[in-house]
Amino acid sequence: MSTNWINECLNALAKEHLFESSEHRTRMKELLDCYSSYPFFSRGLCKCMYLSAWDEDHFSILLETLNDLALGREPDTRDMSIRGDALAEEQTDGEYDVYRLSIAFLENLPYEAPHPASIPPQQRYIIERALKASQIIDRLPE
């Protein structure tokens, strides 16, 4: 994607107040700047970038995976879904649902929480914000 698209994306998300902090925005911008020109980049991956940029821990996990993709160790984002599945299964709280959302983004599938009321408020909030960001990213022109 072009620099213009990256700026449009960041501005559209900021306009809707979807960045939780300046760090959230900065992490997302770093990911977009570094990886949006690779052939594996997609809107789904952009949505994952928004989600992972939420905090340093998830950002680091995605950064490591994207580095492997950029270095050609992984051919495409399919292995990211497999890794996400494995990480989801290790979770015992609402993080499970956050990983499931990430996988849905990568696979360009709709996301529906199996039991939304059982998701802890913090993760439910993150999921709601990410779904709103997803709609904005989908509406951006190519």
Amino acid at 2: S
Per-residue pLDDT of the chain (142 residues; tens, 9 = 90+): 788 899 999 999 999 999 999 999 999 999 999 999 988 899 999 999 999 999 888 899 888 888 888 887 666 677 777 677 677 767 777 778 888 899 899 888 888 777 777 888 898 899 999 999 999 999 999 8
Distance from the Cα of residue 107 to its chain's centroid: 12
d(CA 95, CA 8): 29
Domain boundary assignment for the chain: 3-139
Whether the Cβ atoms of residue 102 and residue 86 lie closer than 8 Å to each other: no
- Prediction pTM value: 0.88
